[in-house]
Amino acid sequence: MSMREWYEKTLDWLQKINLWDMLGQPIIRILLIIVLARIAIWLLHKTVNRIVNEQTRKKQPNETRRMTTVGRLLNNGVSYVIYFIAGMLVLSEFGVDLGPLLAGAGVVGIAIGFGAQSLVKDILTGFFIILEDQFAVGDVIQTGQFKGTVEVIGLRTTKLQSWTGEVHIIPNGMINEVTNFSLKNTLAVVDVSIAYEADIERAIEVINATMDELTHENLVKRPEVLGVQMLNASSVSIRIVGECMPNTHAIVTRAMNKAVKEALDKHGIEIPYPKMITYQRKYEGA
């Protein structure tokens, strides 16, 4: 067949009215399905966002993060469901029998479920982590041997960045116990060692005066001098505690140590340190 004959037959086939009638109705229905799916997604997202905003206004500031996260999950879930339904309807327009397809998908889903139990566990655990607001992005947590700042919370994995820069990617199914350092105020604890020869009462007075003058942006209230904490082999320990913002106790502890050391040096109060004394014995005839 020559190119001219092939071109003429193709042109005749495209000019048949019945062909366009046959193709026109399914195309219109497919476009209608897509448009209705988009409208449904838009309306449902608006509804979810309005409900989340109303609930957020009723919650405490530290509880709003959970509502925001749950709202995003619901929006994603709604989108996936509607896209799936729209995809099935589009396939039906092409003459695909959905019964065997759905039955086969169910069997495949069961097989995948048995073969990927750890994946299902990770997803379920991630969902409950977000739903129960166990921790959020930006919190400092410790789970097992890993401690760091939460960078990403997914349905399957959680990413932590340690203070030295390493990023730990942890499957949610492995998160059995979590310590969250960012929910409540913490205590900065400082034990100051004083020599036995020093005046303990005077040392406590100096430390109290120093804590009165200490200012730090992370301190919630004035540090309190509790008194003598322990009698060590070569020193007396005086304990100071200060309530500070969540996960800032290390910074405040360093500031308290610096202030106490400068105050004790200024008032001549000795902090014990290891000393070595050498005795020289004189021998007869030397």
Domain ranges of the chain: 3-115, 134-180, 186-266
Torsion angle (degrees, nearest 10) of CA 18, 21, 22, 28:
170
Q: Using one digit for the tens of pLDDT, what is the confidence trace for 35-77?
A: 888 898 899 888 888 887 777 676 655 556 666 667 766 777 7
Contacts of 168 by beta carbon, 8 Å cutoff, 6+ apart: 146, 148, 159, 160, 161, 162
Tell me if 3-115 shares its fold with 186-266. no
CA 269 from chain centre, in angstroms, equals: 46
- pLDDT tens digit string along 136-156? 878 889 998 899 998 888 778
Q: What is the pLDDT of residue 151?
A: 86
Pairing of β 157-161 and β 167-171: antiparallel
Cβ pair 160, 129 in contact under 8 A: no
Q: CA 39 to CA 45: how far, in whole Å?
A: 10
Residue corresponding to tokens 């129960």:
132
**Distance (Å, whole) CA 129 – CA 177:** 11
* 122: number of Cβ within 10 Å: 22
Please state, in angstroms and rounded to a whole number, the distance separating the CA atoms of residues 182 and 170: 19
Mean pLDDT of the 206-218 span: 91
pLDDT-based confidence at residue 173 (cuts at 50, 70, 90) = confident
Place of tokens 């509790």: 226
Please give the pLDDT value at position 22: 56
Sign of the C-alpha dihedral computed for residues 100, 105, 110 and 112 taken in this order:
positive
pLDDT at 29: 77
pTM recorded for the entire structure: 0.57
Residues 6+ apart with CB under 8 A from 145: none
- 17 or 237, greater pLDDT: 237
Higher pLDDT, residue 27 or 104: 27
- pLDDT, position 4: 65
Q: What is the DSSP code (8-state) at residue 219? A: B
Q: How far apart are CA 160 and CA 123, in angstroms?
A: 18
Inter-CA distances, 127 with 32, 115, 138, 158, Å? 34, 20, 18, 12
Look at the alpha carbons of 75, 76, 81, 85 in this order and tell me if their dihedral is positive or negative: positive
Q: Predicted confidence band at 21 (pLDDT cuts at 50, 70, 90)?
A: low
Q: What is the DSSP letter of 146?
A: E
One CATH from 2.40.10.10, 1.10.10.10, 1.10.287.1260, 3.30.360.10 for 3-115: 1.10.287.1260
Q: Is the pLDDT of residue 1 over 60?
A: no
Phi, psi (5° rounding) for residue 282?
A: -90, 125
Is it the case that residue 254 has pLDDT exceeding 90?
A: yes
Instruction: Determine the number of helices (DSSP H) and then strands (DSSP E) in the chain.
Output: 7, 8
Please compute the mean of the pLDDT values over residues 85-101 and round it to a whole number: 74
- Asked if the model's pLDDT at residue 259 lies above 90, the reply is yes
Domain spanning 134-180, CATH architecture: Roll (2.30)
pLDDT cut 70: percent of the chain above it: 76
> 269 pLDDT band (50/70/90 cuts)?
confident
Fold of 186-266: Alpha-Beta Plaits (3.30.70)
Give the span between the Cα atoms of 189 and 201, in whole angstroms: 20
